[in-house]
Each structure stands twice: as structure tokens, then as C-alpha cells.
Amino acid sequence: MKKFVSFLKRHSKKIGLFVGVGSAVALGAIAASAWGPSRTTYTVDHPADHITFNSIVDNPHVGDEREFVSIKDASNTTGGGWRDSVTVEEGKEYLVRIYAHNNAASSLNLTAENTRVKAGVPTTTGTSVMITGFVSADNAQPTEVWDDIKLSSDKTFNVAYVPGSARIYNNGYAAGGNGQPLPDSIVTSAGAKIGYNGPDGKVPGCFQYDNYIYFKVKPQFAKPNTYKVEKSVRKSGTTDWQQSVAAEAGDTVDYLVRYANTGQARQEKVVVVDKLPEGMTLVANSTYLKNSNHPGNDFQPDNQTGIIDGGLSIGNHAAGGVSYVKFTAKVPETADLECGPNTLKNWAYGAPAGSEPATDDADVTVDKDCDKPEEPIYECTALQAVDLGNKNYRFTTTVRAENGATVNKYVYSFGDATEALNTTDASVEHQYTKPGQYVAKVAVMFDVNGEQKEVKDTRCETTITIPETPVTPPVTPPTTPPTTVTSIPSTGPVQVLAGIFGTSATAYGVMAWVGSRRALKSVK
């Protein structure tokens, strides 16, 4: 609170037009207005225990915060004059004030998020117009509050928002004599973000962080159409006046401004002026005037450049009087045009002295062909894996980067829970440690004309399969069984006897005996 009062003392002289706080309470003639929604109220000594806006009823600066929208004559530069209703007058502008205060107790450190202010300025016409101000925040309860002010007159009028007039004042980024501007979106459904440190939507709770938002409106009263301006154009050398013509760069065109007194009273000191489109130039000594005083087609006023520079006086006009002003202008050269279609809109204005001008326009269209810059191409086209043995693989990425696109880096992930590899190399190696199936991928970071782009593509993925290592069982030598004799060759008596007696001990003895007898015979 002390900081806020200090702020007012420091800047009251500079911003008396805006910050007349405290005066609203003193004014006893403030008319009742509609506010909403119905909500719990609080006091300075007992603030809210949650985020809510404009619900304190004894604010020492604005009184009952539920009536947080007020208005006054913009020419009133004193601190006071704020009201809930005003009788508007022609030619004046009016200043609308919206107060926004997060009522949460400062000890809670609660900050409203996405805080916005908007105003409903209707375009309807009548003798009474209501303007509604809204304050909202995503985490406020209720999320939106509103209040009305009334503008009235005994004449039919409508209200127009003055573009560029919205400003915010607070103790933060918008402190000082001029505050900070707010966008014209304040009078749209989107509204305008506000905040203490900037227009970020963040508004802490406490008087120190409250905000004053201002914008101007202007009543527009119906005027009788007592004079009229008509504008037309043609290509030089042709005779057909039109509202729009197609031309080439460097061509000349003729403009015609027709002013007519359509009322019943004489009009004094009529002036017409023309605003050439950017890049178009007036052809020297090409201005002609035709009216009842100069009925021919060849009268050239002395002020040849007045039509585009300050205005050309075309005299007084009786009821029904008409004047024509013709002049020639040159279309910009090709180098001064934008690529594609160019619409060069020309405005003419005309009015008696001291009156609001009537207007009309005519167009010149010019096409400029330009070579379109080639679109940048940046893509990842392949990821190749080569088995180097021992679970080691080489991965190589193929990309396409053209027309302003370059590779910044590659981000490899190998699918085996190892950390991603950031590198500027298109080819890297990686060794797997365990058998399994892995999906290796690469994301490519491109620099595209100064903007970073990440590209992922299924073409830059590949599956790696690491097989299990086969286990070789131990080799046991086979056991050779003993050889069994199943037959004896029949080659002599011994073999015969063996065949008879088998291989028993008896047979063995018989064969031994037979052998010994043969030996004795050989000795004899």
C-alpha cells in the first residue's frame, strides 16, 4: 500500500489525466451501474484467502471495487471527474478507466495467471450506449468479473474506440508518467494480457500490484450528407473513367476528383486534397480544374501541387454546385513494387471550411513477377549399419540438405539403454555388449536459413540382432569292446580239433598234444 501511495505522489502531476484515484469515493453523483457476477466481498483489513478480482468494498482509492469501470471527458486533466455515466458531446473524446486488483492477501503469495482485460464497445447506434469492462484470470474465483458504464445523448450516436489509445499503469513495468501501451485487442474477445512485471498475465495479490487500464472512445453523431466526393481513374490516353484499372510499372494514369454540394445551403471555401499511394508521383503541370467559374477543360490553377500537398481550393459552391479536378500520376517502377499483385489505393477528400471531409477512393493494380526462392529441402534418407564383428557396428547416416539447409548435428540412439550420442559426424561406431534385438535410430538437426529443425524418419532406423553365443559340449572318447572270435579257419587237424572242442582248456590241451606228436615225428 505504501509503495502504491508513493507512486501516486511521485507521478500525480504527470498523469493527472489518468490517475485520479480517491476521487471516485468523493463523488456523490456516481450513478448505479450493472456489475457481476454476484460474489463474496472482502475489506482492506480482511482480504481474500484465494485469488479473486475487484471484490473489496472499501478500497480507499476506488471505493467499491465491483464498480471498477468509470469514464470522464478526456480533456479533463485533473485527477477527478470519474463517473459511471456521462452525457457525450460531438467532437469530444472520452477516457475509460478499468481497475484490476487481485484481492488475495499478500501473505499467501498467490499470483493470478493469464490475467486479461477487455472492453465491449458496441457499434450500435442510439441515444444510449453501454460499455462493459471485463477482468479475467484462469485461476481466479470467479474466473471473470465485469462492470458497465453508460454514455448518453439527446441525439443519435454510436461509439468508436480510438486506436492506439490503450495504456496500463502500475508499480511495476508500467510505472511512470506514460505507463505502457496495450494492444488494440483490448476491445476484442481476446482482450489484452496485463501483468506486474510485463504483459505476461501474472498479477500477484496486494494493493502494490493493482493495475489501472485506460483507453479512449469517441462518440460519432449522424451527419447530414450535404456534400459528396467521388474518385475515379483511367490509364492515360484512354477515355473510360473507372474505380479500378490495371497498369504496368512506370505507366501514367489520370485521376479525377468530383466534388458536389448535395445540400441546400451555400458552401464556403471548399478544398479538395488527394493522397497518392506510396511510390506514385504527380506528373508536373498536369492539374486541371473545371466548374461553373471555369467551364472549359483547359484551366490550370496556379497551385499545381496543391491537390497532393495541403489541398487545392476550388472556391464556394452553391446548392447543387459541382467541381472536377483532374491530374496525372506515374506508377512506381518495377524495383519499387512488391512481388506479386500490388493494389495502389488512392484517396480523395473534400469539404467546406471547418467541416469533416467526405472521401472516396480508386485503385491502380500492378503485377510484378518475381522468381520464387526455392524451398529448403532437409530430410534424413537412410541409416546404414555395417557389422564389424565382435558385436561392433558402423552406422552411417545419409541426408538431403539443399537451398539454405545444412546439417547441424546427428543424435544417435542405439536401442541398448546407452546414452544418445550427439555428434557432427555422419558415421559412428558402436559396440553392443549383450545378445538381443535393438532398434538403432538417428535424429538429424538441420539449420534451415537460421532456424533449427529436427527431422526423424523411419528411413533412418535399422534393427540390429546380436545372436546368443553357441555352447560346445565336452567330447568323451568312445570305449572299444574286446574282440570275440566267432569262427576258426579250417586249415588243418589242429584247427579241426579246435572246431570240435572249442576254445576250452580241454581243447587247448588236445591241440598241444597233437602239436608235440608232430614234433617227435620230425625228429625221427
Residue 169: CB atoms within 10 A of its CB come to 24
Q: Assign 484 a pLDDT band (cuts: 50, 70, 90).
A: low
204 within a domain of the structure (yes/no): yes
What one-letter code names the amino acid at 37? P
Which pLDDT score, from 0 to 100, does residue 79 have?
85
Cell of 244: 479500378
Which pLDDT score, from 0 to 100, does residue 499 have?
47
Residues 112 and 189 in one domain: yes
Residues 436 and 339 in one domain: no
314 or 264, higher pLDDT? 314
Answer positive or negative: Cα dihedral of 59, 63, 67, 68: negative
Least confident window among 111-120, 226-235, 420-429, 510-519: 510-519
Residues 215 and 155 in one domain: yes
Q: Under 8 Å CB-to-CB from 329, ≥6 apart: which residues? A: 252, 253, 255, 276, 280, 281, 282, 283, 286, 346
477 within a domain of the structure (yes/no): no
Integer Cα distance of 470 and 319 in angstroms: 112
Residues 6 and 102 in one domain: yes
Q: Assign 517 a pLDDT band (cuts: 50, 70, 90).
A: low
478 within a domain of the structure (yes/no): no
**pLDDT winner (highest mean) among 441-445, 464-468, 471-475:** 441-445
Number of domains in the chain: 4
Indicate whether 359 pLDDT > 80.
yes
34 or 363, higher pLDDT? 363
Integer Cα distance of 448 and 404 in angstroms: 6
> In sequence order, what E strands does 162-241 have?
167-169, 180-181, 192-193, 203-204, 211-221, 227-235
Which pLDDT score, from 0 to 100, does residue 483 have?
59
Query: Domain ends where: 316, 341, 368?
Result: 368
Which pLDDT score, from 0 to 100, does residue 25 have?
30
476 within a domain of the structure (yes/no): no
pLDDT in tens, 306-325: 999 999 999 999 999 999 99
405 within a domain of the structure (yes/no): yes
Residues 34 and 170 in one domain: yes
Integer Cα distance of 364 and 243 in angstroms: 9
Residue 241: CB atoms within 10 A of its CB come to 17
Query: Domain ends where: 345, 368, 391?
Result: 368
DSSP string over 404-463: SEEEEEEEEE-SSSPPPEEES-SEEEEE--S-EEEEEEEEEEEEETTEEEEE--GGGEEE
Closest by CA to 137, choosing from 61, 186, 184, 204, is: 204
511 or 96, higher pLDDT? 96
> In sequence order, what E strands does 276-420 have?
281-282, 288-290, 312-317, 322-330, 340-351, 358-368, 377-389, 392-402, 405-413
Query: Domain ends where: 321, 338, 368?
Result: 368
pTM, whole model, 2 decimals?
A: 0.43
Indicate whether 510 pLDDT > 50.
no
Residue 390 has phi, psi (to 5 degrees) of: 55, 40
278 within a domain of the structure (yes/no): yes
What pairing do the DSSP bridges indicate for beta strands 252-261 and 288-290? unpaired
Integer Cα distance of 133 and 120 in angstroms: 6
Q: Which helix (H) or strand (E) holds 372?
A: none
Average pLDDT, stretch 439-462?
96
Residues 270 and 355 in one domain: yes
Average pLDDT, stretch 493-517?
48
Q: Assign 480 a pLDDT band (cuts: 50, 70, 90).
A: low
Integer Cα distance of 93 and 77 in angstroms: 13
Indicate whether 123 pLDDT > 80.
yes
Chain mean pLDDT for the chain = 87
422 within a domain of the structure (yes/no): yes
Closest by CA to 18, choosing from 186, 165, 205, is: 165
Residues 446 and 504 in one domain: no
Which pLDDT score, from 0 to 100, does residue 511 have?
52
Closest by CA to 95, choosing from 221, 206, 213, 261, is: 213
Average pLDDT, stretch 176-203?
95
Residue 478: CB atoms within 10 A of its CB come to 5
Which pLDDT score, from 0 to 100, does residue 101 have?
98
356 within a domain of the structure (yes/no): yes
Q: Containing domain of residue 507, as a range?
A: 493-523
pLDDT in tens, 223-246: 665 899 999 999 999 999 999 999
CATH number for 237: 2.60.40.740
CB 420 within 8 A of CB 411: yes
Helix axes 493-501, 505-523, angle to 10 degrees: 160
Indicate whether 388 pLDDT > 70.
yes
Residues 231 and 333 in one domain: yes
Residues 237 and 129 in one domain: no
Residue 457 has phi, psi (to 5 degrees) of: -150, 140
Question: What's the Rg (C-alpha) of the chain?
Answer: 50
Residues 280 and 337 in one domain: yes
Which pLDDT score, from 0 to 100, does residue 225 have?
54
Closest by CA to 333, choosing from 250, 251, 252, is: 250
β-bridge partners, 118: 134
Residues 153 and 101 in one domain: yes
Helices (H) and strands (E) in the chain, counts: 4, 31
Residues 113 and 207 in one domain: yes
